[in-house]
Amino acid sequence: MEDEVDRLVAAWRRERPDLDVEPLEVLSRVSRLARHLDRARRLAFAEHSLEPWEFDVLTALRRAGTPYQLSPGQLLTQTLVTSGTMTNRIDRLAKKGLVERLPDPSDRRGVLVRLTGEGRDRADQALAGLLEQERAILAELSPAQRTELAGLLRQLTAPFDNIPG
């Protein structure tokens, strides 16, 4: 089945036959798919009254395991936002009672963000919903294809994630 990127690439080949636009076949699809996924996630989380950005922060803390706390800096590398954004996110989540700020006992510059009980429950519920939705999207592919796709994507993400992105 044809997608929007097929049309986009065909248009470039007609308009700019002098250029090799093959890279777009992969990377434009990644960008567009991510955009579609954002929309879908927003809908899925609405059932739990959570925004995607809230989910990202809460689940990062949830994954950390007991006592469910990370520094703002650690949250930055996991969520790929800037420090100003993270300060703002923590403020808003704290106001809703989903996280709390604690002073870092070993570094007075630092802060620890800890998940509250309610924050943990909300994260768990939303994760279950998200996985259900994602399974439906991935039903297009066989298990072997999913593994193959994950592996190819890892090769592209690894340089960003390891060499300081």
Partner DNA sequence: CCCTGATATCTCGATGTCAAGATAATCGTC
Partner DNA sequence: GACGATTATCTTGACATCGAGATATCAGGG
Positions touching a second copy (CB under 8 A) are 1-6, 8, 11-12, 14-16, 19-27, 29-39, 62-65, 77-78, 80, 124, 127-128, 131, 134-135, 137-138, 140-141, 145-150, 152-162, 165
Q: Which of residues 23-52 bind DNA (CB under 7 A)?
A: 42, 51
Which residue number, 24 or 94, has a Cβ lying nearer to a second copy? 24
Long-range contacts: 152-158, Cβ < 8 Å, 24+? none
Q: Which does 118 bind (CB under 5 to 8 A by kind): DNA, a second copy, none?
A: none
User: Residue 61 in contact with residue 103, Cβ under 8 Å?
Assistant: no
Q: Which does 144 bind (CB under 5 to 8 A by kind): a second copy, DNA, none?
A: none
Q: Give the tokens for residue 111.
A: 């802060």
What are the strands of the beta sheet with 99-103, ordered from one edge? 69-70, 111-115, 99-103
- Contact between 95 and DNA per CB under 7 A: no
Asked if 57 and 99 touch (Cβ cutoff 8 Å), the reply is yes
